[in-house]
Amino acid sequence: MAPKPKPASSQPAPPPPLEDLFTTLNRHIQASAFDNVVKFTDQSSSISLLFSNVPPFCILNVPLFSHRYLVCIAVLAIAPDDEDALRCKVVALIKNDRVEDALSAIKSSRKQLDDFHFFKARQFPLSPCFAYCLYRQNKLDEALESLKRQERNDETMLLECQILYRLGKMDACIEIYQKLQNSKIDNMEINSVAALVMAGRSSEVQGMLDSLRVKATSSFELAFNTACSLIARKKYSDAEQLLLSGRRIGQEVLMEDNLADDEIELELSPIAVQLAYVQQLLGRKQDAIEAYTDTIKRDMADESSIAVAVNNLVSLKGPKDVSDSLRKLDRLKDKESQSFRLAPSLDLKLSAKEKEAIYANRILLLLHANKIEQARELVSALPDMFPESVIPVLLQAALLVRENKAGRAEEILAQFANKFPEKSKVVHLARAQVAAAAGHPHIAADSLAKISDIQHMPATVATLVSLKERAGDIDGAAAVLDAATKWWSNAMTEDNKLNIIMQEAASFKLRHGKEEEAAQLYEELVKNQGSVEALVGLVTTVARMDVNKAELYEKQLKALPGLKGIDVDSLERTSGVKQVAAPRVGVSETYEEGKNKTKTKKKRKRKPRYPKGFDPANPGPPPDPERWLPKRERSTYRPKRKDKRAAQVRGSQGAVVRDKHDTGASSNTSHPKSNQGTSKGAGQNDAVSEQTKPSSKSSRKKSRK
């Protein structure tokens, strides 16, 4: 008889030992097996038991960000309830790049969101994880709004700097970094330099490093950012040397960390791309092209570095090989989107200026490739992507000009300039260029005149005068010259252009019949500058109005050497120099001399190349010159004669006509004896003909093939 089964115990199984739970959790954390940490933390009963018997301890102590990102360390503050299990789960999800799941776990909790904290470095207080999750999801405005409800401390300020940096609000970001200078935050100078460069304040970088007593070569990240500031200040050679030093430092540091060669190359790929960019700025374009191409082909760089390399390579090549450039840009495209949109990962990592440059180059390439529809679709999407930028409206104007709609392009540029006067300088220049090319000089001059800070420049003055002359506004052109003359007269600059402006103004007024004003300008130039050219202009101008006064000015000119013995009055009374023909002998002699002097280049005689097996000593009969013509076109061609007798019908109408073969056979049968002597020869001839006919047919078939 089988034994009865034992009744199931109503008491739950005892929990595993505390040491085993701690060992299991710690093993998963040390192995970076964050999926297992999440599964382990879902066992709330075990975790609660573990947390209720163990004092608080650190779960994660690994930096999440190094270069250009927040350096935070995840810490789990243990409490005697399941909230700690949720915290451990959220941290593990974030470390495993599952930010969406972490945010869902926080939202599904019954606790208040402000009570969840993580990312505590040894010297930092706690900061909110909800705002950080929004920051990782690129929901920057929501993350910034969430931070405003938190207590302001070093960590929240550091996260706020990162959000402001991603939003492009560099001045506010720099202001917070300056407040954090007294805090003991590792590598804060790296982010500070990056913010200064992006804000256009590269001249302040060296002063900030000196105040912090930090050298640019203290880390390869800081060397990279400092080199970017040198590039902005156009110190390209110094930037190149600093980038080379940064690459060497990075290789040494990363090799000490036992990183593989591929990982080292991936980490230092931004420096390699920036070195190529410096070579491009220094004029070594071929070296830059090779460096960009090598980075793209090897595919050993991060996504943002490859995107920068592709964009710079496309800009270097320009309109050459447009199809290849478009294919390279397609590499950056979102695979799920039908139109051209950057991949989501690139959209998060690249700055607004970098993304705008990629889209702008794409549109220009489409215009060069005459793909107007694709260009129009992409241009229409840019204003929503970059609402505060000038580039979208400039590209829209370029598209309209390509479509022969210059008037519409001028209209939209004028509307943008009126709407955003602080950004109107480039727009006015573009409108002037479009109008001048379209034959609208008055619109071009009006647009150029609205840029006040360049009105006095010689190039602007010359362009305005030319445009107003084309429009028939002579008085307006003269007013431009007068205004420029007045500005340079009052200017206290070393590189003064008053002499050039007054010279051109006097020449313009003399050309348009304003001799008195031109004479005044020349006279002022002679008094102030003592220019010989101005004195010559003064003499020629005054001579049209008062000859005696012109002679007085003429006496100030220095006499030319060799003209003292010449009587000017006698030269004026002569009728001029008569032409005397030179003797022909002399002409021929000079021609012969010149002919002998010029040596004609002797052409090198090359040995002729003959076909294989050809003997030049015995060439044989010459080839037929008509051998390349068809037979019917040759002079020796004779068409075959048609047998007219075959078509003749003799006898009465309706008679039956016998064939030659039948008549021949009948004749043979009727005269057997007479044909007996000749039958042998005929038979032999027939045999020969029968043998030769098939061969001729086969040869004809072969020739047709």
| pLDDT tens-digit map of 69-115 | 222 222 233 333 455 566 666 777 777 777 777 777 777 664 444 44
β-bridge mates for residue 73, sequence order:
63
How many angstroms separate the CA atoms of 393 and 408, rounded? 12
Residue 257 DSSP code = T
Higher pLDDT, 688 or 76: 688
Confidence of residue 667 (pLDDT cuts 50, 70, 90): very low
State the residue for tokens 């007219």: 644
455 has a pLDDT exceeding 60: yes
Q: Which of 79-88, 305-314, 568-577 has the lowest mean pLDDT?
A: 79-88
Confidence of residue 577 (pLDDT cuts 50, 70, 90): low
Residue 34 tokens read as 């964050």
The predicted model scores a pTM of: 0.64
Confidence of residue 178 (pLDDT cuts 50, 70, 90): confident
For residues 684-696, average pLDDT: 41
310: nearest Cα among 291, 282, 284, 336: 291
pLDDT at 128 (0 to 100):
60
On whether the CB atoms of residues 191 and 180 are closer than 8 A, the answer is: no
β-bridge mates for residue 117, sequence order:
128
123 has a pLDDT exceeding 70: no
For residues 297-316, average pLDDT: 90
What sections of 543-610 are H helices per DSSP? 547-554, 568-573, 584-597
Count how many Cα atoms sit within 13 Å of the Cα of residue 544 in the half-sphere of its side chain: 13
pLDDT at 562 (0 to 100):
65
- From residue 272, alpha-carbon distances to 129, 191, 241, 296, 613 in Å are 35, 20, 13, 12, 61
* Sign for the pseudo-dihedral over CA of 41, 47, 52, 53: negative
For residues 391-412, average pLDDT: 93
Angle at 257 between CA 252 and CA 262, to 5 degrees: 75
For residues 559-577, average pLDDT: 69
